Amino acid sequence: MDIMHKTKRTGLTNIIFTLFSVAIIIGIWWWLAESHYGRFGVIPTPPDTFRIVWQELQKEYFWEAKFSTLWKALRSFVISFLCAIILAMLAHWKKPIRNLINPFIVITRAMPTMALVLILLLTVGSNMLPIVVAFLVVFPLCYENMLTAISGVDRNLVRMAKVFKVPTHRQVTGIYLPAMLPYVFSSTIAGFGLNIKVVISAEVLGLPSMSIGYLIMTSRLNIDFSTAFAWLVIAVILSLICEIILRIIRRFCMPWKYPDLKIMKNTSKRIFIRRKMKEVASDSI
């Protein structure tokens, strides 16, 4: 009970500080909207912004643009993540391969994103531009996290498993996955949020048909800065929703790091057993 009470108190504290942070952000946003930025129509107030968001939500192209951007971000991230896992495994086991990959990682990590977008726009076209740019930006982050994750596995546990002839699948599920999952999810959460931002930035310059970046740029060209800002808020909300989903998945994939889940499972088991005992007792009576 003490652990459950402490967990609830920690969760309540986190919620309070999160709401306080959101209030500060909205306050700064409102202050900027009431300044000369708002007078020129660059930054609308929060109520005006969400009113425009609601208006855009009712238009036919809203979901098409949203899912088009999300699909590009998902494709580019999956490609980046799979390439990062494969190359990190090869780089961990073969040092020459690591030396071969490192210059590419250093160059892509240091390359300016906007310069990369402008150069690739002339070579890959507007439709493939967001996917290629997002891959080149996110891949180094995923690769380094995966390499750190694989290198962080306890070698003594691996040797002991080999001595006792533990099956390979048991080594993967019992040694490698628990050690790698924290790095995998930290890479996924950080990388996917960055991936969405890079995809939208490439869409703004590349102008692929019907996407969030295309609508932001179209609103700006039409001098409709309030709508452009509203689509920026929509992009932020989309990124936050994806991050929340990934964090929920992480909690259920790593229950040993979240004791409140164990408490909930144990409590539900006890309630189930008590109900069954009551049913058996009533039937016997």
Instruction: Find the CATH number of the domain harbouring 246.
Output: 1.10.3720.10
252: in domain: yes
pLDDT digits (tens, 9 = 90+) for 23-38: 999 999 988 888 766 6
Whether 272 has a pLDDT exceeding 80, the answer reads no
Q: Is residue 208 domain-shared with residue 114, that is, in the same domain?
A: yes
Per-residue b or e along 246-256, where b marks 16 or more CB atoms closer than 10 Å to that residue's CB: beeebeeebee
CA pair distance 113, 133, nearest whole angstrom:
8
**212 neighbors 234 (Cβ within 8 angstroms):** yes
Q: Is residue 78 domain-shared with residue 161, that is, in the same domain?
A: yes
**Could you give the percent of the chain with pLDDT greater than 70?**
84
Q: Is residue 135 domain-shared with residue 243, that is, in the same domain?
A: yes
- Section 184-193 average pLDDT: 87
CA pair distance 19, 14, nearest whole angstrom:
9
153: in domain: yes
| Model confidence, pTM | 0.80
CA pair distance 237, 158, nearest whole angstrom:
43
End-to-end CA distance of the chain: 33
Name the token pair of 12.
């309540």
275: in domain: no
Range with lowest mean pLDDT among 19-28, 75-84, 176-185, 221-230 = 176-185
Query: In the structure, what pLDDT confidence band is assigned to residue 60 with cuts at 50, 70 and 90?
Result: confident
Per residue, the 3-state secondary structure of the chain, as one string, reads CHHHHHHHHHHHHHHHHHHHHHHHHHHHHHHHHHCHHHHCCCCCCHHHHHHHHHHHHCCCHHHHHHHHHHHHHHHHHHHHHHHHHHHHHHHHHCHHHHHHHHHHHHHHHHCCHHHHHHHHHCCCCCCCHHHHHHHHHHHHHHHHHHHHHHHCCCHHHHHHHHHCCCCHHHHHHHHHHHHHHHHHHHHHHHHHHHHHHHHHHHHHHHCCCCCHHHHHHHHHHCCCHHHHHHHHHHHHHHHHHHHHHHHHHHHHHCHHHCHHHHHHHHHHHHHHHHHHHHHHHHHHC
Its domain, for residue 39, covers 1-43
CA pair distance 161, 170, nearest whole angstrom:
9
Q: Is residue 81 domain-shared with residue 25, that is, in the same domain?
A: no
Query: In the structure, what pLDDT confidence band is assigned to residue 135 with cuts at 50, 70 and 90?
Result: very high
Whether 277 has a pLDDT exceeding 60, the answer reads no
CA pair distance 41, 65, nearest whole angstrom:
24
CA pair distance 245, 249, nearest whole angstrom:
6
User: pLDDT: is 261 or 244 the higher one?
Assistant: 244
Task: Tell me the torsion sign for CA atoms 156, 158, 160, 162.
Answer: negative
Average pLDDT score over the chain: 82
User: pLDDT: is 183 or 79 the higher one?
Assistant: 79
Q: Is residue 110 domain-shared with residue 3, that is, in the same domain?
A: no
- Section 94-98 average pLDDT: 88
283: in domain: no
Name the token pair of 234.
């929509």
Residue 270's pLDDT is 47
CA 20 and chain centroid, separation: 23
CA pair distance 239, 244, nearest whole angstrom:
9
Domain count, the chain: 2
Residue 184's pLDDT is 86
Q: Is residue 133 domain-shared with residue 207, that is, in the same domain?
A: yes
Q: Is residue 7 domain-shared with residue 73, that is, in the same domain?
A: no
Helix axes 259-284, 2-34, angle to 10 degrees: 130
Q: Is residue 145 domain-shared with residue 189, that is, in the same domain?
A: yes
Q: Is residue 9 domain-shared with residue 106, that is, in the same domain?
A: no
Whether 78 has a pLDDT exceeding 90, the answer reads yes
